Structure 1
């Protein structure tokens, strides 16, 4: 697996820092979207919002496991772009998998190992840098799982490598956001946002690489609520640090709205109006 470009590495580092601050102290800290089926009442306390957001992230992983069908319990799994290792720990704890957690940021290696030890699965989770290539061509995994990392690297090369890592009959499971209409992507220097691709493009590259589509679930409607909860939590976080002065408070709330519009509302709107799709994809190596 090739090393991430510097902008993407910096993006993942910042994402992990925010995730740890918001959902820490661990050990299962996730740095991805979640699925929300019911929103809480307005004015829900920050602590409950954080719990609901964590639950939504784990609901996404559970839904991805369901899409994979008979998950390879006790099998060998590569977790691609594992962040702080939250999803790697999920597969190890909930499915007894032996997980190779591919970490994008060198400084996170020791943190993932520490979290795995705290969770009691240090013997089943092995953290490696995503730049290491010693696995190239080895068909040693029952499943490769990429949560919001499928768009980060050149698709054709990455999918060919993914097929070479899978055992015959193994599956590649992807949860990610894709554009349906390219112009819906809000102008930004955000490294993840600028690399969103289409489902059609990824599936064409997957077929060329020798991976056959088994499941394509559009869960966009269930992902919308994640951004509603995140926006509400932003208000709480700004309020916690806002001065008591009413004028300063209004300024803080306006700052929340600006941040929400820049980082959240474009995604929420795109998922609602069909400009973006949050998809669960399961592809199988037949032989």
Structure 2
């Protein structure tokens, strides 16, 4: 989603409402991520991979630890899919919230990271987190200005976690190819639809822009990017939403002060689960949705 602003600069009057919607989504996503997984410095705002569910009834602090670990597992799996990851290389991260991914690549892989962000306030926040994490010199947060980097061919890798769906894909992929050095990698972790009817009719910014795997790969080929890895990790993503539903119960129950409040909290959990989680879980289980790790290479 972050690269969207570079495209909007060409037609600001036409695109402003859509851009405002995306910015509001990113602000809310970061606020929720910080509340659940803060205080930082490595805060992630994306899906995780869970291989084994704990018994029901786990306390909220332990659930948060499990969920954060699952998010880092996703990043580790994406690095594995990019093998060999360009350790010490120049990486563009199309930012997910508060720079957790940027810190991960800088700390775990010694990368120099240009982190593109959607929300102006997040630029300074990511800079503070980078300094707190001891990698301030290797992380360069900037506000959605990919346009001025087109044609430079300066990145060993572009990493985009749950930010590839709400952009005009063909144009964004063509731009991504020009940002990459010859032989550079574009790594994507995102949810896609496999059957068109699987898209949730909610109007939510992220869900309404989910694209198809086949459509994305076709646009990538057209842009001159060759597919190297396509890992379907849907079954491992399901557990993340199961644990998130449990955490949601804890969060809403703490707000209840009496029996009436408790009933209201439980109803809110059911409504939230139906809207946010159950459709994802069902779609990932029945194959109508796919959570995929994609690695594409610019050959020349």
Alignment of 1:203-214 (within 5 A): 203-214=217-228
Deviations 1:8-64 (A, max 9, x none): 111111000000011000000000000000011110000000000000000000000
The answer for the alignment partner of 2:162 in structure 1 is: 148
TM-score, length-scaled by structure 2: 0.94
- Compute the RMSD of aligned alpha carbons: 0.9
Q: CA deviation at 1:185?
A: 1.5
Deviations 1:217-270 (A, max 9, x none): 000000000000000000000111111x22321221111111111111111111
Tell me if the contact between 2:193 and 2:199 (Cα under 8 Å) persists in the aligned partners: yes
55-64 or 178-187, larger mean C-alpha shift: 178-187
> Would you say how many aligned residue pairs link Structure 1 and Structure 2?
286
Tell me if the contact between 2:192 and 2:290 (Cα under 8 Å) persists in the aligned partners: yes
Choose from 28, 32, 44 the match for 1:30: 44
The answer for the alignment partner of 1:98 in structure 2 is: 112
87-96 or 187-196, larger mean C-alpha shift: 187-196
Tell me if the contact between 2:91 and 2:155 (Cα under 8 Å) persists in the aligned partners: yes
TM-score, length-scaled by structure 1: 0.98
Tell me if the contact between 2:112 and 2:138 (Cα under 8 Å) persists in the aligned partners: yes
Alignment of 1:45-64 (within 5 A): 45-64=59-78
Tell me if the contact between 2:96 and 2:162 (Cα under 8 Å) persists in the aligned partners: no
Deviations 1:80-124 (A, max 9, x none): 134200000000000000000001111110000000000000000
Alignment of 1:271-282 (within 5 A): 271-282=284-295
Choose from 265, 269, 272 the match for 1:252: 265
The CA distance in 2 between the partners of 1:234 and 1:203, in whole Å, is 35
The CA distance in 2 between the partners of 1:137 and 1:53, in whole Å, is 38
Q: Structure 1 stretches of 5 or more lacking a match?
A: none
Q: Structure 2 stretches of 5 or more lacking a match?
A: 9-18
The CA distance in 2 between the partners of 1:238 and 1:258, in whole Å, is 12
